[in-house]
């Protein structure tokens, strides 16, 4: 079966159905994994010129992506100009490494940084700092915006686990995906803490 025919027949399947299909054979698993990685890179290209470089840094530091970008990926929605920020969750010690990468390699500039240690009540208890970086896109009103969220320690998941809603408790690593509440997530529902 050619790739074109395979993807034409499976493009309307929900994510969890594709995961189940991937269990059928190694060949199907490889095809689906290859397509997922291609789609992941395509979504990341809306924010960075080199998704492979970003994923390499994520791999080296243990950082993950959560928020609207992971939701779009899970629900197989193509990126749109109304999409939200790219939210990268980093271990405390690698926050500056991500800021440097995004500014030097990808051309972002800092819009603002919020720190939890200055009495910022808006940050969840698992967050040390949130840096918002932007690249103005002068061709339309959409602006590429990346939020780099530093955990309070070396585990990047703490801010995600302290989140106000289960809909945010999913993350994408450089080569993997974690869904803590699959039944709710794939039903496009969530619980508020």
Predicted confidence (pLDDT) per residue in 35-62, tens digit: 888 888 988 998 999 999 999 999 999 9
- Domain spans of the chain, in order of start: 3-186
Identify the sign of the CA torsion 128, 58, 172, 155. negative
Please give the order of strands across the beta sheet that includes 64-66: 109-115, 127-135, 144-151, 86-90, 64-66, 170-172, 177-179
Q: How far apart are CA 73 and CA 48, in angstroms?
A: 16
Q: How far apart are CA 138 and CA 158, in angstroms?
A: 36
Residues of the chain with pLDDT under 70: 75-83, 117-122, 136-142, 193
pLDDT value of position 163: 82
pLDDT value of position 38: 87
pLDDT value of position 48: 93
pLDDT value of position 150: 95
Q: What is the pTM of this model?
A: 0.85
pLDDT value of position 133: 93
**Nearest partner of 65 among 57, 186, 164, judged by Cα:** 57
- What is the per-residue pLDDT across 170-193, written as a single tens digit (0 to 9) for each? 899 999 888 888 777 777 777 776
């Amino acid at each position: 079966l050619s790739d074109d025919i395979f993807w034409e027949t499976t493009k309307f399947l929900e994510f969890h159905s594709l995961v189940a299909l991937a269990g059928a054979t190694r060949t199907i698993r490889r095809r689906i994994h290859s397509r997922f990685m291609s789609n992941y890179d395509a979504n990341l290209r809306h924010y960075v010129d080199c998704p492979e470089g970003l994923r390499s840094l994520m791999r080296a530091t243990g950082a993950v992506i959560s928020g609207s970008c992971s939701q779009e990926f899970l629900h197989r929605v193509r990126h749109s100009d109304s999409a939200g920020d790219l939210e990268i969750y980093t271990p405390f010690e690698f926050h500056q490494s991500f800021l440097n990468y995004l500014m030097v390699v990808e051309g972002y500039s800092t819009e603002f940084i919020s720190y939890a240690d200055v009495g910022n009540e808006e940050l969840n208890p698992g967050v040390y700092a949130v840096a918002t970086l932007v690249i103005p896109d002068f061709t339309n009103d959409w602006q590429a915006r990346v939020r780099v969220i530093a955990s309070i320690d070396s585990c990047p998941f703490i801010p995600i686990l302290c989140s106000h809603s289960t809909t945010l408790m999913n993350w994408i690593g450089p080569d993997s995906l974690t869904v803590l509440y699959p039944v709710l997530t794939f039903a496009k529902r969530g619980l508020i803490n």
